[in-house]
Amino acid sequence: MIVMEPGKRFGRLILLELAGRRNGNALWKCHCDCGAEALVEGADLRSGNTKSCGCLMRESAASRLQLFRFTPPRKPKRKSRRYLTFPFGKS
């Protein structure tokens, strides 16, 4: 059981105060590491669905884009067996 109380951290969000209710769920006012504030349902925080004001998603989307753009060149697979190419019997 995760206790929801001011000061508690979920990802980048720190609970500030209970802001009300939405759809029967507690709505928390949160402060994000990026400096923004967000209203997040407590259920989303506990389940890990929401870990930031939305900046995390924007950043990970950007880094995915970078990964896609800067894919390192594929390393050639090392051959497990060496083929002997000595010129046997020829001199």
Residues in contact with Zn ion by CB under 5 A are: 32, 34, 36, 52-53, 55
Q: CA-CA distance, 44 to 27, in Å (whole number)? A: 10
Rounded to a whole number of angstroms, the minimum distance from the CB of residue 36 to Zn ion is 5
Rounded to a whole number of angstroms, the minimum distance from the CB of residue 53 to Zn ion is 4
Question: Which of 32, 40 has the CB closer to Zn ion?
Answer: 32
Rounded to a whole number of angstroms, the minimum distance from the CB of residue 34 to Zn ion is 3
Question: Which of 43, 55 has the CB closer to Zn ion?
Answer: 55
38, 72, 87: which is closest to 58 by C-alpha? Answer: 38
Question: Which of 4, 55 has the CB closer to Zn ion?
Answer: 55
Q: Which residues contact 6 (CB under 8 A, 6 or more apart)?
A: 15, 16, 17
Q: CA-CA distance, 44 to 63, in Å (whole number)? A: 24
Rounded to a whole number of angstroms, the minimum distance from the CB of residue 77 to Zn ion is 42
Question: Which of 21, 62 has the CB closer to Zn ion?
Answer: 62
45, 57, 59, 62: which is closest to 11 by C-alpha? Answer: 45
